[in-house]
Amino acid sequence: MSTKIFCDIADIHLIKKFVKKKIVKGFTTNPSLMRKAGAKDYQLYCKKILKICKFKPISFEVFGDNYNSMMDQAIKISKWGKNVYVKVPVVNSKNKFTGKVIKELNKKKIKLNITAVYTAVQTKKILSVIDKKTKVIISIFGGRAADVGKDPIPEFKKSISIARNYKNVEILWASVREPYNYLQSKQLGCHIITVPPVIIDKIKKFGKTFNQLTQETVKTFLTDSKKSKFKI
């Protein structure tokens, strides 16, 4: 199984660039990326993105914090396009499992991306409230776990294992920190990895030898020293 690469971005100019790249199979966004991109009107901004990204799957996240607001936003988002996945956090800000929301949206055959997942226990709870037909992505935050000294690999392994019988479920490696995470996701058997644009550009350089890297590194040092006109 090949691991699909999604681009984790909300900047419209960058989406225009990366939607054309064959290596990019889809996109993910979140409210923080939207804010960083300068979005003021959430719905209007998302619809602008959809004019560019018409066919590749893309996730837009709800930002409600209770059942009613999440359901209302999710249903509206789901109607924006056939390629749209609705992102729903696995818990709300009070750490309450959003299982009721996930279950109801799944019953309505809405494609979901369950986000902010860190553990196989959370994955198991998600699987317990969905069917085996409607598409669901489970986004596990490998990078953020590693940032605080937690090894995310065992959680990925267990999550992939328990989701194996759900052909409609894809495990996604989120919060990528370095290009090597892509190789790790492939080795684990993740269906998707979502990657910032700068790391996608680095992944495209995979395959260089250590000798090539050594020579390139030395050339960089030499070039910078000449530009700075260093003398000893």
Question: What are the residues facing 173 on neighbouring strands?
Answer: 140, 193
The average confidence (pLDDT) of the chain is 97
Q: Is the pLDDT of residue 192 over 70?
A: yes
pLDDT of residue 1: 66
Q: How far apart, in Å, are the Cα atoms of 112 and each of 24, 62, 186, 226?
A: 20, 11, 22, 53
Q: Cα separation of 8 and 32, whole Å?
A: 11
Q: Cα separation of 101 and 5, whole Å?
A: 28
pLDDT of residue 205: 81
pLDDT digits (tens, 9 = 90+) for 195-227: 999 999 899 888 889 999 999 999 999 999 999
Element (H, E) at 5: strand 4-8
Task: Compute the average pLDDT of residues 52-61.
Answer: 98
Residues near 204 by beta carbon (within 8 Å), at least 6 away in sequence: 23
pLDDT digits (tens, 9 = 90+) for 13-54: 999 999 999 999 999 999 999 999 999 999 999 999 999 999
Q: Is the pLDDT of residue 68 over 80?
A: yes
Q: Cα separation of 18 and 58, whole Å?
A: 13
pLDDT digits (tens, 9 = 90+) for 95-127: 999 999 999 999 999 999 999 999 999 999 999
Domains of the chain (ranges, CATH numbers): 4-207 (3.20.20.70)
pLDDT digits (tens, 9 = 90+) for 123-180: 999 999 999 999 999 999 999 999 999 999 999 999 999 999 999 999 999 999 999 9
pLDDT of residue 158: 98
Q: Tokens representing 141?
A: 């935050």
Phi-psi region of 109 (alpha: psi -120 to 50; beta: other; left: phi over 0): left
Q: How far apart, in Å, are the Cα atoms of 101 and each of 124, 175, 211, 218?
A: 16, 24, 53, 55
Q: Is 26 helix (H, G, I), strand (E, B) or coil?
A: strand
Q: Is the pLDDT of residue 80 over 90?
A: yes
pLDDT of residue 24: 97
CB-side neighbour CA atoms (13 Å) of 77: 29
